[in-house]
């Protein structure tokens, strides 16, 4: 399943059933898991590990040197999980600091022309739509979604199950379970449909909605709002996580 025009370094490691299309270039430190399909005109370089059953579409570039001007030749990595789909013209850069890894999880969909910069962490089941862009050191937690033509500023965190609308400008942390949209971005509502699709119980969705109302509809500063939420009887795990995420924010959250 290796096209004769593909250029594959003899040191590269390809698992069973790997398919490599025409004019693809694979560097010496690349490892590809079993049954992964690398279509034509793909460029894989650096210390890059790609899990099993992935699909990588034409003109993608993965594992190349960081664009961070602070890079000084450190040994850095890219790691991509299982069953992840990387569409046309996607770019994934290696990390910046010594021993650091740019991570992309399992069952991720990176649509055409999207970009994952140095030292990002992209969780499981994340979707980045066409031309979505992550600057360096961004974290997108599990089940979060970035709309097309949206950009995320460096060091921003996106909480799990958050949904960011298309053409949004994201400069601060995005709390989990929320819908965020606009330029500048603002929290619009909870991601009710996304929560339902993940089979979250109605009582938990109601608790998240009550926390949202306290944070965003009572015209309170963040700290007093969190203190009120923390007094809720029988606080569920999801709301506890929302509180923890906000308290741990270094950039501040989108309001």
CATH code: domain of residue 218:
1.20.1180
The pLDDT, as a whole number, for residue 52 is 98
Q: What phi, psi does 121 have (nearest 5°)? A: -125, 115
DSSP class per residue in 178-212: EEEEETTEEEEEE-HHHHHHTT--HHHHHHHHHHH
Instruction: Compute the average pLDDT of residues 36-56.
Output: 98
Do residues 104 and 215 both lie within one domain? no
| 88, 106, 137 - which closes a domain | 137
Mean pLDDT across the stretch 59-64? 98
Q: Do residues 35 and 124 both lie within one domain?
A: yes
**The domain containing residue 215 runs over which residues?**
196-247
Our CA angle for 195, 196, 198, nearest 5°, is 65
What mean pLDDT is predicted for residues 132-141? 98
Shared domain for 50 and 127, answered yes or no, is yes
pLDDT at 231: 95
- What CATH number is associated with residue 45? 2.160.10.10
Q: In terms of domains, do 38 and 121 share one? A: yes
Final residue of a structural domain among 95, 114, 137: 137
Q: Averaged over 209-218, what is the pLDDT?
A: 97
Q: Say yes or no: 13 and 91 in one domain.
A: yes
**Do 131 and 208 fall into the same domain?**
no
| pLDDT given at position 98 | 98
pTM beyond 0.95: the answer is yes
Q: What is the mean pLDDT of residues 236-242?
A: 98
Q: Is residue 64 assigned to a domain?
A: yes
Mean pLDDT score across all residues of the chain = 98
Residue-wise pLDDT tens digits, 152-207? 999 999 999 999 999 999 999 999 999 999 988 999 999 999 999 999 999 999 99
What is the number of structural domains in the chain? 2
Mean pLDDT, rounded, for 215-233: 96
Question: Do the beta carbons of residue 88 and residue 60 sit within 8 Å?
Answer: yes
pLDDT band of 40, cuts 50, 70, 90: very high
Residues 13 and 105 both lie in one domain: yes
Domain contains 166: no
For residues 26 and 130, membership in a common domain is answered with yes
Residue 186 lies in a domain: no
111 and 221 together in one domain: no
Asked if residue 219 belongs to a domain, the reply is: yes
Domain boundary among 91, 114, 137: 137
| Domain-embedded: residue 170 | no
Domain membership flag for residue 22: yes
Percent of the chain at pLDDT > 90 equals 99
- Tell whether 232 is covered by a domain: yes
pLDDT in the model for residue 250: 96
Query: Domain check: are 17 and 131 in the same one?
Result: yes
Looking at residue 196, its pLDDT comes to: 98
Is there a contact between 49 and 79 (Cβ–Cβ < 8 Å)?
yes
CA distance 51 to 30: 11
Rounded-to-integer distance, Cα 124 and Cα 107, Å: 6
């Amino acid at each position: 399943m290796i096209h004769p025009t593909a250029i594959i370094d003899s040191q590269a490691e390809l698992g069973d059933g790997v398919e490599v299309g025409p004019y693809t270039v694979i560097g010496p430190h690349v490892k590809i898991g079993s049954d992964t399909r690398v279509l034509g005109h793909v460029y894989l370089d650096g210390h890059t590990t790609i899990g099993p059953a992935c699909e990588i579409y034409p003109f993608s570039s993965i594992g190349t040197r960081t664009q961070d001007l602070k890079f000084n030749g450190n040994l850095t990595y890219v790691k991509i999980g299982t069953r992840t789909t990387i569409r046309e013209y996607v770019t994934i850069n290696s990390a910046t600091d010594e021993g650091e890894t740019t991570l992309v999880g399992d069952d991720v969909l990176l649509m055409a022309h999207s970009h994952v910069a140095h030292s990002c962490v992209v969780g499981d089941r994340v979707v980045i739509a066409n031309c979505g862009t992550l600057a360096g050191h961004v974290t997108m937690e599990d089940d979060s979604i970035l709309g097309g033509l949206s950009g995320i500023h460096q060091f921003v965190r996106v909480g799990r199950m958050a949904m960011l609308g298309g053409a949004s400008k994201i400069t601060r942390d995005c709390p989990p379970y929320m819908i965020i949209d606009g330029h500048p971005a603002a929290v619009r509502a909870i991601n009710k449909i996304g929560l339902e699709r993940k089979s979250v119980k109605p009582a938990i969705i109601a608790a998240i909605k009550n926390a949202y109302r306290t944070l965003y509809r009572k015209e309170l500063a963040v700290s007093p709002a969190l203190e009120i939420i923390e007094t809720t009887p029988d606080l569920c795990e999801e709301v506890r996580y929302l509180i923890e995420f906000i308290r741990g924010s270094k950039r501040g959250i989108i309001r």
